């Protein structure tokens, strides 16, 4: 979907390792941390006080990367020095009032509430005519530089369509217009995915390892019905997605023997009225930074210099390991 090659180099995983070892970090966080700006009742840096919230709760980021009222700096008069205004809204989504919770530990109803928050935030933000894309994501774990361990995700709603979304939209449209079938659902029903790459199949969603996985244990959650965004998911589909998502997060915790670090992305269609948005396939992608319980994956020389990722694990092997965890419950 990104139209980039991935190098699968399964033998490189056997190479003697002298790189960074990621020691499992056992969390001993308190249930409430008065020094945490995401906990209920805490006064944030801007002086606003968090309400005594329970469960999923969203608010504007106090230190947004993108602001709606950023100055206009649009200037393309010199091709060497083109500038454009990046504007938008940044939101913070708390999954729980408990500082030491995670999406793996909260109860079923709280998980469904979190999924409904994703849906409601997307609906609200995508209706804003100044917003072109709504990217909902979670950065989790000190391993990837997250400073606040309170369970939370974020939203960047931008006045432009991001680089990856532009590539993906083009791929979705090209495939669908040529084959008269949705890309993700056609891929999902294909033999390689069904036989080799499936992790868990539910009624409305499946968890798979993508064919050209860029991270060793990358997985996608794909709807069985072609939808462009989470806004189109029914109440029943949202509830199943939430629990399917939670099981996958728990599998990562089991696989990596800790509350596992992850980057999770909700890939909703851009909302800029582009004619190709209708071909977009909503899905969720997990990009775990760990290669196994003790090894971090870094994008080093070749990858940083080429943008071609080297995955040291066969996607089929990753799927098999995750499937075994799924069967173990
Ligand atoms: Zn907190």
Instruction: List, for residues 114-159, the tens digit of each pLDDT value.
Output: 999 999 999 999 999 999 999 999 999 888 888 889 999 999 999 9
How many Å apart are CA 236 and CA 140, to the nearest integer?
27
Tally the domains of the chain: 1
pTM: 0.94
How many Å apart are CA 323 and CA 234, to the nearest integer?
27
| Confidence check: pLDDT of 19 > 60 | no
| Residue of 150, 152, 267, 283 with catalytic role | 152
153 CA to centre of ligand 1 in angstroms: 13
CATH number of the domain within which 85 lies: 3.30.428.10
How many Å apart are CA 49 and CA 28, to the nearest integer?
26
Confidence of residue 20 (pLDDT cuts 50, 70, 90): low
- Per residue in 180-195, pLDDT (tens digit) is 999 999 999 999 999 9
- Asked whether the beta carbons of 214 and 269 are under 8 A apart, the reply is no
pLDDT for res 17: 55
Residue 43 per-residue DSSP state: B
100 CA to centre of ligand 1 in angstroms: 7
Whether 1 is covered by a domain: the verdict is no
Report the range of poorest mean pLDDT among 64-68, 171-175, 186-190, 244-248: 64-68
| Confidence check: pLDDT of 13 > 70 | no
- Per the annotation, the verdict on 152 as an active-site residue is yes
28 CA to centre of ligand 1 in angstroms: 13
61 CA to centre of ligand 1 in angstroms: 15
Whether 75 is covered by a domain: the verdict is no
- Alpha-carbon torsion 253, 259, 261, 265, what sign? positive
Whether 73 is covered by a domain: the verdict is no
HSE-CB of 137 using CA atoms within 13 angstroms: 17
Confidence of residue 23 (pLDDT cuts 50, 70, 90): low
Residue 88 has which token pair? 């938008």
Whether 190 is covered by a domain: the verdict is yes
The 3-state DSSP class for residue 285 equals strand
| Confidence check: pLDDT of 21 > 80 | no
Average pLDDT score over residue span 235-239 = 98
pLDDT for res 147: 80
Whether 263 is covered by a domain: the verdict is yes
> Domain limits at 239?
6-17+28-68+81-328
Whether 23 is covered by a domain: the verdict is no
Whether 22 is covered by a domain: the verdict is no
Whether 51 is covered by a domain: the verdict is yes
């Amino acid at each position: 979907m990104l139209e980039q090659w991935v190098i699968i180099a399964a033998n490189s995983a056997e190479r003697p390792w002298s790189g960074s070892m990621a020691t499992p970090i056992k969390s001993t966080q308190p249930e409430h941390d008065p020094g945490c700006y995401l906990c209920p009742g805490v006064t944030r840096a801007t002086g606003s006080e968090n309400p005594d919230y329970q469960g999923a709760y969203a608010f504007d980021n106090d230190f947004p990367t993108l602001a709606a009222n950023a100055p206009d700096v649009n200037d393309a008069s010199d091709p060497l020095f083109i500038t454009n205004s990046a504007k938008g809204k940044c939101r913070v989504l708390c999954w729980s009032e408990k500082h030491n919770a995670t999406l793996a530990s909260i109860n079923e109803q709280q998980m469904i509430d979190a999924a409904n928050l994703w849906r409601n935030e997307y609906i609200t933000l995508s209706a804003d005519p100044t917003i072109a894309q709504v990217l909902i994501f979670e950065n989790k774990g000190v391993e990837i530089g997250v400073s606040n361990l309170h369970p939370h995700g974020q939203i960047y709603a931008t006045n432009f369509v991001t680089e990856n979304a532009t590539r993906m939209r083009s791929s979705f449209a090209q495939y669908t217009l040529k084959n008269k079938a949705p890309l993700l659902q056609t891929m999902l029903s294909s033999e390689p995915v069904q036989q080799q790459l499936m992790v868990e199949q539910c009624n409305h969603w499946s968890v798979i390892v993508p064919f050209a996985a860029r991270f060793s244990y990358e997985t996608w959650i794909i709807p069985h019905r072609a939808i462009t965004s989470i806004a189109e998911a029914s109440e029943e589909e949202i509830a199943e997605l939430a629990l399917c998502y939670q099981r996958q997060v728990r599998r990562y915790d089991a696989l990596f023997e800790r509350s596992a670090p992850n980057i999770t992305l909700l890939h909703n269609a851009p909302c800029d009225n582009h004619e190709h948005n209708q071909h977009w396939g909503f899905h969720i992608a997990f990009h775990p930074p760990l290669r196994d319980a003790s090894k971090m994956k870094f994008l080093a020389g070749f990858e940083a210099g080429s943008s071609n990722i080297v995955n040291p694990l066969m996607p089929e092997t990753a799927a098999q390991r995750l499937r075994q965890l799924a069967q173990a419950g």
